[in-house]
């Protein structure tokens, strides 16, 4: 039995998308970012820092989304270079890079969306994190120029960018990133991505673009 502890629009989308790509049966246990339930003893028994996702798998519960991607692809022996394979180092590197980028996206989500009242937001922090996000996007733009996928074929490394892809161009304009924008559109066109999206729930975002404040 596979059960995904999930919040819409969160890093658990990475796992949702991979489960769909692998064609594994699973159930979704929805949680909320805003109702306090991630801080309850019940949820913290699943994920001690009160973060999603967590996955119940084969009688165990595991947290940390990129570890879950590794575990599922090793269990299924698909959609990732296995230990010892030529692309393994690149696979691990891009999984970790996706998390570096996700941490910046999360900081911007907090600033632009979750912090209340709006005066609690920090224009300096938004500017800093937006510039840091752009740096990660430049790295992806260079890597994806002339490539279809993160590795030489579709893999869980692409799923690792699932949470990020919906966010990037809401914070940084797409003009300078044609390869990254085309990659995002290719990933969105995958049937498993579309199926995962129907399981996901409402988007966090109410705007197409969040402007960087001037002061
Ligand atoms: N490194 C963790 C990060 C998990 C994480 O921060 N998830 C966010 C949602 S994307 C969360 O649960 N936030 C709730 C909170 O910070 O209170 C992972 O990849 O699973």
Decide if pLDDT at 213 tops 90.
Answer: no
Nearest CA to ligand 1 atom 11: 51
Could you tell me the sign of the dihedral formed by the alpha carbons of 160, 162, 167, 173, in that order?
Answer: positive
What is the CB-side half-sphere exposure of residue 108 using CA atoms within 13 A? 27
Q: Are 24 and 195 in contact (CB under 8 A)?
A: no
Atom of ligand 1 nearest to the CA of 106: 10
**CATH code, 88-200:** 1.20.1050.10
Decide if pLDDT at 68 tops 90.
Answer: yes
pLDDT, tens digit (0-9, with 9 covering 90-100), for 83-136: 999 999 999 999 999 999 999 999 999 999 999 898 999 999 999 999 999 999
Decide if pLDDT at 212 tops 90.
Answer: no
Per-position b or e across 2-40, b if 16+ CB within 10 A of its CB = bebbbbbbbbbbbbbbbbbbbeeebebeebebeeeebee
**Ligand 1 contact via 164 beta carbon (within 6 Å):** no
Decide if pLDDT at 149 tops 70.
Answer: yes
Determine the topology of domain 2-76 in CATH: Glutaredoxin (3.40.30)
CA dihedral 213, 202, 100, 147 (to 10 degrees): -100
To the nearest whole number, what is the mean pLDDT of the chain?
97
Ligand 1 center to 136 CA (angstroms): 19
* Res 214: pLDDT: 75
* Res 215: pLDDT: 64
Sequence ranges of the domains in the chain:
2-76, 88-200
% of the chain surpassing 70 pLDDT: 100
């Amino acid at each position: 039995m596979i059960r995904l502890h999930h919040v819409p629009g969160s890093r658990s989308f990475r796992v949702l998308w991979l489960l769909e790509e692998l064609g594994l049966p699973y159930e979704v246990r929805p949680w909320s970012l805003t109702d306090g339930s991630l801080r309850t003893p019940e949820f913290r028994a699943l994920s001690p820092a009160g973060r999603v996702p967590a996955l119940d798998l084969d009688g165990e519960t595991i947290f940390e989304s990129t570890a879950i991607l590794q575990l599922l692809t090793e269990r299924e022996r698909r959609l990732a270079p296995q230990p010892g394979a030529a692309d393994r180092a690149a696979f691990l590197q891009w999984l970790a890079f996706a998390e570096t980028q996700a941490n910046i996206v999360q900081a911007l989500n907090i600033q632009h969306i979750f912090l209340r009242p709006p005066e609690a937001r920090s224009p300096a922090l938004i500017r800093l994190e937006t510039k840091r996000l752009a740096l990660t996007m430049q790295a992806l733009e260079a890597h994806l120029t002339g490539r279809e996928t993160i590795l030489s074929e579709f893999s869980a490394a692409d799923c690792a960018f699932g949470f990020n892809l919906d966010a990037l161009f809401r914070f940084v304009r797409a003009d300078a990133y044609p390869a990254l924008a085309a990659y995002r559109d290719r990933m969105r066109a995958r049937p498993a991505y579309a199926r995962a999206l129907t399981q996901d729930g409402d988007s966090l975002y109410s705007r197409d673009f969040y402007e960087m404040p001037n002061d």
